[in-house]
């Protein structure tokens, strides 16, 4: 079954902005950070939707992600 879904962002700032919004609205959210093991410049925050599905919001300067 579905355990994780990711959405791409146009900027690193929008990842930070979403994090701030989610934190303010009491979502379970993990602070954004870089994940060089995925790709150079990969930056993401993870949070849970109301059904417990992990949502990932990423910025990556590499266009094939």
Note the pLDDT of residue 63: 56
Helix (H, G, I), strand (E, B) or coil at 43: strand
Task: Tell me what pLDDT residue 62 has.
Answer: 76
- What is the predicted pLDDT for the residue at 50? 84
pLDDT in tens, 9-65: 999 999 999 999 999 999 999 999 999 999 999 999 999 988 889 999 999 987 555
Q: Residue 55 has which token pair?
A: 């949502």
What is the value of pTM for the model shown?
Answer: 0.85
Indicate the pairing of strand 54-59 with strand 4-8.
parallel
């Amino acid at each position: 079954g579905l355990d994780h879904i990711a959405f791409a962002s146009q900027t690193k700032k929008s990842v930070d902005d979403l994090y701030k919004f989610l934190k303010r609205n009491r979502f379970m959210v993990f602070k954004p950070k870089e994940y060089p093991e995925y790709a150079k410049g990969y930056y993401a925050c993870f949070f849970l939707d109301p059904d417990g599905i992990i949502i990932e919001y990423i910025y990556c300067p590499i266009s094939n992600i």
